[in-house]
Amino acid sequence: MTAYDDLMAFTRETTALGQIAGRLGWDQETMMPKDAAPQRGEEMAAIEGVLHARHTDPRVGDWLAKIETAGLDEVGRAQVRHIQRSFDRTSKVPADLAATLARVTSMSQGKWAEAREDDDVAAFASTFEEVINLKRQEGEALAAGGDVYDAMLADYEPGTTAADLEAMFGALRPELSALRAAIRDAEAPAALSGMFDTGKQMKLTRHLAKTFGYDMSKGRVDKAVHPFSSGSGLDVRITTRTNEADPFNCFYSTIHEVGHACYEQGIDSDYLLTPLGQGVSMGVHESQSRIYENQMGRSRAFTGWLFKEMREAFGEFGVPDAEAFYGAVNRVNDGFIRTEADEVQYNLHVLLRFDLERALMAGDLQVGDLEGAWNDRFEADFGFKVDKASNGVLQDVHWPVGLFGYFPTYSLGNVYAGCLNEAMRDAIPELDDQLAQGDTARATGWLQNNVQQHGGLYEPREVIERASGMAPTEQPLIAYLKAKFSDIYKL
């Protein structure tokens, strides 16, 4: 056995334990009894302690020191690159801080859910202050004198800095604001109305998951407050949610999470339970969920097929034809919730969070002032006031569970998706004809071949550049949004 062989055997066991921890998180969101939260916190802290010990095990450093990377192939070098990066980063965080963070964020999730249900920010404030304090400590340890927010961002999008995002988002924001302003002055398509049985929604949503290539023999669809995808390899699960008055919420949440899940299911099976056996970054991950949901799922071609499926599932539901249905699916609406936002306004929700969380981490914004800052920024960006905390600062689970640096990857993923969509349509000129038949195989196959199969083999931006033939830029996304919504709203 070589040092590389020993390192990979050890890493596979560590990765397997990480998957178990992820399954605990999935259970907490879907099936765990409410009063089990304190015990689950202890369980999560215990397994996090084991994982931290393995990630910082001195033998990992010894094996890494003995490996001659020049003698490895491309896959071996990539495996070592990821393990070295993880070892260096994890070694900077004290074990007791890692365990405390796991315990506190697990309990924080339950307290946030209760506060959200009661629209009571004050009830969550002290817990959130503890989360912020612990995350700052972790960020300072990781930054080692550098920028704390950049250190946090590196957990989700290696190679990208806040300055990079600020430039990209700075170019995106005025274009989105101008497009939204033009749309507000135009005549809107008719909205969907009526009530739609949730059981029928779940039946159709599972059909949609399969239509987009989700392998149900290695996955499942459940309900959760906040839709998400969990797992990798041979066990990749998704959740969705239902609302009798809004079936689109269910259907497009499902398609979105299927994009994430198909990325994980599409990775080369040789990489199973290794650092390469999962999505390379959250931005690239989000590019898959957004291109599935928006550029494919909300296209005129695919919504024409979905219109027929809706009629079959629900009978006549008040929309006269496929073109009206396309307008209803893509209608730009005033709303508070990021996950329900249309394509034009979605990124504005993300940019709000990006600015606020940077201020929180820098100490320029205190928890006690966060709700007011959120409400003021929301009114400035969207033109109306937040009506309650569950529609405002308490709507997302990310901050309560300590995911700082995560939010900007949503918009970065949209930018990546814009680049990929342009390249994919060049490669498959007949794509709309296929989507109109509910056939996504060529599109999802192109994404699997050009993005998904590589897992963590390449760095995030390299993945996008290889697939799209261009360095990531916001311009294709802007062009796509302008063309689509100028058509829908006859601008």
Radius of gyration from C-alpha coordinates of the chain:
22
Distance between CA atoms of 178 and 479, rounded to whole angstroms? Answer: 13
Would you give the DSSP letter of residue 292? Answer: I
3-class SS of residue 404: coil
Per-residue pLDDT of the chain (491 residues; tens, 9 = 90+): 899 999 999 999 999 999 999 999 899 989 999 899 899 989 988 998 899 899 889 999 999 999 999 999 999 999 999 999 999 998 899 989 988 998 999 899 989 999 999 999 999 999 999 999 999 999 999 999 999 999 999 999 999 999 999 999 999 999 999 999 999 999 999 999 999 999 999 999 999 999 999 999 999 999 988 789 999 999 999 999 999 999 999 999 999 999 999 999 999 999 999 999 999 999 999 999 999 999 999 999 999 999 999 999 999 999 999 999 999 999 999 999 998 899 999 999 999 999 999 999 999 999 999 999 999 999 988 889 999 999 999 999 999 999 999 999 999 999 999 999 999 999 999 999 999 999 999 999 999 999 999 999 999 999 999 999 999 999 999 999 999 999 999 99
Strand partners, 183: none
Q: According to DSSP H, which parts of 281-332 are helical?
A: 282-290, 300-314, 322-329
Distance between CA atoms of 357 and 373, rounded to whole angstroms? Answer: 11
Active-site residue, selected from the candidate residues 48, 138, 257, 293: 257
The CATH number corresponding to 162-489 among 3.30.70.20, 1.10.1370.30, 1.20.120.450, 3.30.310.50 equals 1.10.1370.30
257 classed as catalytic? yes
**Confidence (pTM):** 0.92
Domain boundaries, the chain: 3-146, 162-489
Measured CA distances, 226 to 100, 241, 329, 402 (Å): 24, 7, 21, 16
